[in-house]
Amino acid sequence: MKSADEMFLWNCWYAAAWDHEIGVGQKLARTYLEKPVLIYRGESGNYVALDDRCCHRAAPLSMGRVEGDCIRCMYHGMKYDADGVCIEIPGQEHIGSTHRVRRYPLVEKGHLLWIWMGDPDLANPDDILDYEPLSDERWTGLPEQAYMHYDANWMLIVDNLADFSHLAFVHTNTLGGSEEYAYVSTAQEVDQLERGFRFVRWHKDSAPPPYHQKVSPEGGARVDRRNDVRMLVPGVFFMETTFAPVGWDPDSGDFNGVRQYRNCQYMTPETRSTSHFFWNYLRDFRHDEPEVSISLRDSLLEGFMEDKVLIEAQQKLLEIEDPFQPRFLQADAAFSHFRQTMQKLINEERKSWPPASKPIRNQIL
């Protein structure tokens, strides 16, 4: 398997947590790009992300105590402010300039916390891929934004989302509806974007999949189904799904009898072989019926678990030392472009980041 420097893109925003995961005075320990990070929310309500290792002996700050907007290590009592600077050492007056931990840029947008793991001077919040439906009252999401953990590389999840032909076989009785989907839906024509791809896939005059039938039984026995997909670096997936009367023209402006969903998914590498997965599924109908949100959550979770079992099994086989050479299909055009795009960005980034590390003196281990 590639090294971390060969595999990770550092200078970009990654989804780190949903805002509801961390209340005032609470902490969350997570690893991103093989770096241990503490996220906490201080008394002021601000979120802070620090290296989760006390600078003294690498005790986890996530096992510490939030004090105001500061965090105290509960090993020897060192107290750090929101910039990661040590401001108190019990029993010692002198605090050196190196008594600090790294602070990572962290921004909240659309109920998501976004973290920047690379050069902090390059972290521009305007570059965050904010998804407007998450903050738009016209769209109703799940009872609570969802999180899953994968024992697999995040690019395998990207690959899975890039090719919808798998819906017919992995999700026959859930999200796909039938094996027919692989044969009669229109093959996606991929638009190669500078930092990702986009495609539209139609499944016309078809039976709606079970998850949609449960929440929109009035939609009719046959529908035209349209998925408009965008995948963007480093692993951000947006999809507009429409179920419409057979023969519907999307350019007509007529949305009578049309049901729409907005789907966002975020893949963030934890390590080279494990991933964080954040998602929400929003709709434009039956807003005041929480049972619809629960039904969609349960249906989507059932489908994602079908993916998860397969992807994690795939990861195990790819870790076998015997080399594996994939044979590509025409449907692989989207994720092939995405992987090439990622590799170009990583190669360019390696010219300046990460900087060469200095040798460590007086090592603990």
Per-position DSSP letters for 209-256, written without gaps between them: PHHHHHH-GGG-S-EEEEEEEEEETTTEEEEEEEEE-TT--TTS---T
Instruction: Give burial (CB, 10 Å; 0-12/13-18/19+) of 61.
Output: buried
Specify the DSSP class assigned to residue 305.
H
- Confidence (pLDDT) at 356: 86
pLDDT above 70 covers a percentage of the chain that reads: 96
> How many Å apart are CA 314 and CA 319, to the nearest integer?
9
Q: Categorize the per-residue pLDDT at 188 as very low, low, confident or very high, splitting at 50, 70 and 90.
A: low
Whether residue 132 is predicted with pLDDT greater than 70 in this model: the reply is yes
Q: Categorize the per-residue pLDDT at 183 as very low, low, confident or very high, splitting at 50, 70 and 90.
A: low
> How many Å apart are CA 237 and CA 129, to the nearest integer?
10
Measure Cα distances from 73 to 49, 65, 265 in Å.
15, 7, 34
User: Which of 15, 307, 8 minimizes the C-alpha distance to 163?
Assistant: 307
* Token pair belonging to 300: 């989507």
Output the DSSP codes for 311-354: HHHHHHHHTSSS-------GGGHHHHHHHHHHHHHHHHHTTTSS
Top-confidence range, 166-175, 181-190, 289-298: 289-298
CATH number of 131-346: 3.90.380.10
Q: Which residue has the tokens 């060469």?
A: 356
Global pTM? 0.94
The DSSP H or E segment spanning 309 is: helix 290-318
- Half-sphere exposure of residue 99, counting CA atoms within 13 Å on the CB side? 16
Residues 115, 38 contacting (CB under 8 angstroms): no
Whether residue 62 is predicted with pLDDT greater than 80 in this model: the reply is yes
The chain-wide mean pLDDT, for the chain, equals: 93
CATH number of 9-126: 2.102.10.10
Residues 113, 128 contacting (CB under 8 angstroms): no
Whether residue 219 is predicted with pLDDT greater than 70 in this model: the reply is no
Whether residue 282 is predicted with pLDDT greater than 80 in this model: the reply is yes
Side chain identity at 163, as an amino acid letter?
D
Whether residue 195 is predicted with pLDDT greater than 80 in this model: the reply is yes
> How many Å apart are CA 316 and CA 319, to the nearest integer?
5
Angle at 240 between CA 305 and CA 280, to 5 degrees: 45
The whole-angstrom distance between residue 114's C-alpha and the CA centroid of its chain comes to 10
DSSP, collapsed to helix, strand or coil, labels residue 13 as strand
Phi, psi (rounded to 5 degrees) for 290: -60, -25
* Token pair belonging to 242: 């429409």
Strand duo 70-72 + 65-67: pairing: antiparallel
Of 208 and 184, more confident: 208
Q: Categorize the per-residue pLDDT at 9 as very low, low, confident or very high, splitting at 50, 70 and 90.
A: very high
pLDDT above 90 covers a percentage of the chain that reads: 79
Domain ranges within the chain, ordered by starting residue: 9-126, 131-346
* Mean pLDDT value of segment 34-46: 98
Whether residue 296 is predicted with pLDDT greater than 70 in this model: the reply is yes
Q: Categorize the per-residue pLDDT at 189 as very low, low, confident or very high, splitting at 50, 70 and 90.
A: confident
Q: Which residue has the tokens 């107290």?
A: 79
Beta strands (DSSP E) in 96-160 are 103-104, 106-109, 112-116, 146-150
Q: Categorize the per-residue pLDDT at 186 as very low, low, confident or very high, splitting at 50, 70 and 90.
A: low
